[in-house]
Structure 1
């Protein structure tokens, strides 16, 4: 490459046009290019240029060719003219007290009526689809049903005379409002019933897991019988504890309370272990029915049941009951044992 450039430069200098150009530039003294010899002079001996290096000539970069040159692009539509910026620095906005953005006006037009037609009626029998929609409405909140449950129906083997006990309820209504009937009692074989009560309650759901109760309770036994106003709650506490709490106000002005709790521990899908507890309280002494103030009595029990069917589950277990405080004292005065342990066998049934 260097050799080619040297040869080109020598040829250019040797051309007459180049010499004329040099002589036609007055006031400028052009030195002879290295390596040239004046006319009429003997050429000097050839010089060795092997140690000389000449910088490479800059090669012009290729001109980029636009492949879209000559294509006429469609002009874009002109947008709206931009308003000139206005300087508000001198404006006092605090003085504009009479201007407020305010809330947008609320429409008063009535909501459109819900559609009365159903797309499925164009494919299936409209009468059948109407019955299906009614069944869906009942099953998803507007149903009415009923249930009878005897949670306890048992024989009690204990010191002295063996006894019996039951505790059950029945409800009628929907998933929010129900009429609830409760009953429980106990006694010894060959003797009169010791306790018998019945409750009629209005039950209403106050949360997904809790119901509130209000109604009446009537104690048939012991004598004299008494009637109470009832206020209570029943539901499922965290960790699936079933709890019931009730307060009673009698027609004599007596105040009593009851707290019950149980827990179903599933050993298998059908074998269930259930611990159970009940505590009763009284705000005052009622010696005529053998009840003292404070904690009157409590029961602790454990039962193991096997569900032959969900509706039928025989069980066995043990229960300890004890009268406390002044109630225990009144029981001793009446010749009764305030403490009792019973082995129980019974059946839990619902329908």
Structure 2
């Protein structure tokens, strides 16, 4: 059967359209077959955050919803704070010491404060010396005037020394009392010396010799103290105690109180000395140090005799007490 030209042309057009539409249809079905479903792909906002690559300085923290985060459920111990740019949390301070502190023992105290070896203090056999005239004065009292002195000196090293001490008094042109002590002294502490030696009396009455032993040094609160016991040829036992203190009113103006007392064990009429407390002298002297070596002074002194000693002096037409104004100089070399 023969076809008309119009029918043939229509069939050719339909075939051409089918040929052109086949590749597009195949590509569309292939895309649907390989593309994942929308439920499998995570949303853009739920993707994991790389904190190490985030620049916190450029983030707008004011827009972040910190209130919605439940920090109580977060495990901070597993967070990488170094990668986040934050300092790691500080560990809590210990409530107990890592090592217990041992109790201080007697051995620890001995190691911290060892005893002083006075034998090792003398490093070299150097010889030094000092002469101090503590009082060289003129006095004017209620019953006359006169002069008095008190001096001491030593020569030796830091531990061992030879001491010389002397004191006396003159009145109305004659010497009423005078003595000289020669003693060996040894340092027994940084502040105290022990003295052993002899004392020679020249006045009053006949001269006599004493064996002497004593101690001198700086007592607590800086009281200069000297205590000496004497044993005489006749068996007489005597003692002298002297205490001085220096009160610095200024660096150069110094007030010096003094207290001295003498004792005897038995009566000696020949020397006008009674048993017990014989004599007490209390003085107050104000000196001005032009230098440490030279210092003039003025002051007042009161002397009083006690007991049988006062009776012996009154029987010899002497007074048992006297108040004196003094002026003198203190020097040392």
Q: Who is 1:150 aligned against?
A: 133
Rounded Cα–Cα distance in structure 1 between residues aligned with 2:203 and 2:165 = 15
The offset of 1:3, in angstroms, is: 6.6
Q: Secondary structure at the match of 2:235?
A: coil
Task: Write the deviation string for residues 53-105 of structure 1: whole angstroms up to 9, x where unpaired.
Answer: xxxxxxxxxxxxxxxxxxxxxxxxxxxxxxxxxxxxxxxxxxxxxxxxxxxxx
Task: Write the deviation string for residues 110-152 of structure 1: whole angstroms up to 9, x where unpaired.
Answer: xxxxxxxxxxxxxxxxxxxxxxxxxxx9995532111111000
| Structure 2 residues not aligned, in runs of 5+ | 1-35, 41-119
Q: Who is 1:216 aligned against?
A: 198
Change (3 A) 1:316 1:154: same
* Contact 1:138–1:144, Cα closer than 8 Å, also in 2: no
- Once the two structures are superposed, the pairs formed by residues 72-87 of structure 1 within 5 Å of their partners are none
**RMSD, aligned CA:** 2.0
Rounded Cα–Cα distance in structure 1 between residues aligned with 2:322 and 2:143 = 10
Q: Secondary structure at the match of 1:309?
A: coil
* Contact 2:122–2:158, Cα closer than 8 Å, also in 1: no
Rounded Cα–Cα distance in structure 2 between residues aligned with 1:185 and 1:196 = 4
Rounded Cα–Cα distance in structure 1 between residues aligned with 2:232 and 2:282 = 26
Q: TM-score under structure 1 normalisation?
A: 0.60
- Once the two structures are superposed, the pairs formed by residues 269-348 of structure 1 within 5 Å of their partners are 269-348=251-330
* Contact 1:314–1:347, Cα closer than 8 Å, also in 2: yes
Rounded Cα–Cα distance in structure 2 between residues aligned with 1:200 and 1:139 = 23
Rounded Cα–Cα distance in structure 2 between residues aligned with 1:302 and 1:245 = 20
Q: Secondary structure at the match of 2:227?
A: strand
How many equivalent residue pairs?
220
The offset of 1:2, in angstroms, is: 10
Q: Secondary structure at the match of 1:207?
A: coil
| Correspondence 1:166 to 2:149 | yes
* Contact 2:211–2:232, Cα closer than 8 Å, also in 1: yes
Q: Who is 1:180 aligned against?
A: 163
Rounded Cα–Cα distance in structure 2 between residues aligned with 1:260 and 1:324 = 17
The offset of 1:238, in angstroms, is: 0.8
Rounded Cα–Cα distance in structure 1 between residues aligned with 2:259 and 2:246 = 13
* Contact 2:121–2:158, Cα closer than 8 Å, also in 1: no
Rounded Cα–Cα distance in structure 2 between residues aligned with 1:189 and 1:2 = 140
Rounded Cα–Cα distance in structure 2 between residues aligned with 1:212 and 1:333 = 39
- Runs of 4+ with >4 A deviation: 137-141
Rounded Cα–Cα distance in structure 1 between residues aligned with 2:37 and 2:298 = 115
Task: Write the deviation string for residues 30-70 of structure 1: whole angstroms up to 9, x where unpaired.
Answer: xxxxxxxxxxxxxxxxxxxxxxxxxxxxxxxxxxxxxxxxx
Change (3 A) 1:3 1:291: same
Q: Secondary structure at the match of 1:169?
A: strand
| Structure 1 residues not aligned, in runs of 5+ | 6-136
The offset of 1:4, in angstroms, is: 2.2
Q: Who is 2:39 aligned against?
A: 4
